[in-house]
Amino acid sequence: MGLFDFFSKSKKETLDPVQKETLDQGLEKTKQTFFSKLTRLLVGKSRVDQDVLDELEEILITADVGVETTLKIIERIEARVSKDRVINSEELNQILRDEIIALLEENAANFEGQLKVDKPEDGNPYVLMVVGVNGVGKTTTIGKLAYQMKQAGLKVVLGASDTFRAAAVDQLIIWSERVGVPIVQQGMGADPASVAFDALQSAKAQGADVVIIDTAGRLHNKINLMQELSKIKRVMDKVVPNAPHEILLVLDGSTGQNAYEQAKQFAQATDINALAVTKLDGTAKGGVVIGISDQMKIPVKYIGVGEKMEDLQLFDRKAFVESLFQTKA
């Protein structure tokens, strides 16, 4: 049974008009800086020379694409310019767009298989463990995911294994009530692995399709974090073999390159296989999505482009890039 059939439309990578409008609005601040600078750079230019490429490099870095990824894009453009004999700004604009999409696609090969995840053949639920530091929108992302999955007809159970922070359990309880899905929690200070164990057992007993496990994000003590996440994984594996099936790292896009640093730290602590980049609607640093995907070789699965439940979108790389380059009518 295809568990995430409601995500499979992204194979075609087409957003409906409402999602497209939300994406455009959410990326508005990034577009204002990135595209306006790009337009000023290219206006009146009859050919692409080294000065243009140097300025383009600066624009990409300013948009938080990251130095390494920017250099990679510039190298590809240089090769295309010499090969295709590109001489005008309109063609450069299109090449830049193509190369960014191509870069995102390189890190989406594994992701394609994750868009449509099958429920384990033994009938056990699909287990999604969510990690990330406090303040990145982790709990909100879990709530929005639970809402969208429930809307798609899936039976979802939440597990409150972030027992370190006082408000974390309370926040997740509020989301469970708001969305209308059950939650397993033992309050603040409880053993996170014990909560995860109970959540999976409860989900199995209820015949749930998906379990979403929240975890504490204590990056300042990486060894403790690593040990805690490893213990949670070991305990869950006893209830549901091979759990968790997905480890989703939530990052705050508005922090720019700091988000990339967090991603590197978490990648050392556990086996992340998907990213969610939140709060893109409040920042001009949307280019960080491109850089993180490229540098980490981990696919961006979701982006947060607004406050509403539906504003956590499955990442559509072509729509994302098209929106960045879109001018207002």
Question: What angle (nearest 5°) sits at the alpha carbon of residue 24, between those of residues 21 and 29?
Answer: 145
Q: What is the pLDDT of residues 148-167, one digit of tens each?
A: 999 989 999 999 999 988 78
Higher per-residue confidence, 124 vs 83? 124
Contact (CB, 8 A) for 321 and 101: yes
Q: Has residue 4 got a pLDDT over 70?
A: no
Higher per-residue confidence, 113 vs 272? 272
How far apart CA 77 and CA 72 sit, in angstroms, is 9
Q: Has residue 11 got a pLDDT over 50?
A: no
Average pLDDT over residues 304-318: 91
List the single range of 42-51, 113-122, 230-239 with lowest mean pLDDT. 113-122
Average pLDDT over residues 130-146: 93
Residue 1 confidence (pLDDT): 41
Q: Which residue has the tokens 């968790």?
A: 244
How far apart CA 232 and CA 126 sit, in angstroms, is 15
Residue 115 confidence (pLDDT): 41
Q: Has residue 255 got a pLDDT over 80?
A: yes
Residue 327 confidence (pLDDT): 63
CB neighbour list of residue 274: distance below 8 Å, 6 or more residues apart = 111, 114, 246, 247, 248, 249, 298, 299, 300, 301, 302
Average pLDDT over residues 197-207: 97
Residue 114 confidence (pLDDT): 41
List the single range of 21-30, 215-224, 226-235 with lowest mean pLDDT. 215-224
Q: Has residue 236 got a pLDDT over 70?
A: yes
Residue 107 confidence (pLDDT): 75
How far apart CA 216 and CA 130 sit, in angstroms, is 9
Average pLDDT over residues 142-148: 94
Q: Are strands 300-304 and 312-314 parallel, antiparallel or unpaired?
A: antiparallel
C-beta atoms surrounding 34 within 10 Å: 23
How far apart CA 243 and CA 234 sit, in angstroms, is 8
Higher per-residue confidence, 276 vs 94? 276
CB neighbour list of residue 221: distance below 8 Å, 6 or more residues apart = none
Q: Has residue 112 got a pLDDT over 70?
A: no
In degrees and rounded to multiples of 5, residue 83 shows phi and psi of -75, -45
Cis peptide before 241 (omega within 30 of 0): no
Cα 99 to Cα 14, 16, 85, 93: the distances in Å are 19, 25, 16, 10
Average pLDDT over residues 300-306: 92
List the single range of 89-93, 139-143, 224-228 with lowest mean pLDDT. 89-93
- The amino acid present at 257, given as its one-letter code, is Q
Confidence tier at 201 by pLDDT (50, 70, 90):
very high
Mean pLDDT of the chain: 86
Sheet of 183-184: strand order equals 183-184, 156-161, 210-215, 126-131, 246-252, 274-278, 300-304, 312-314
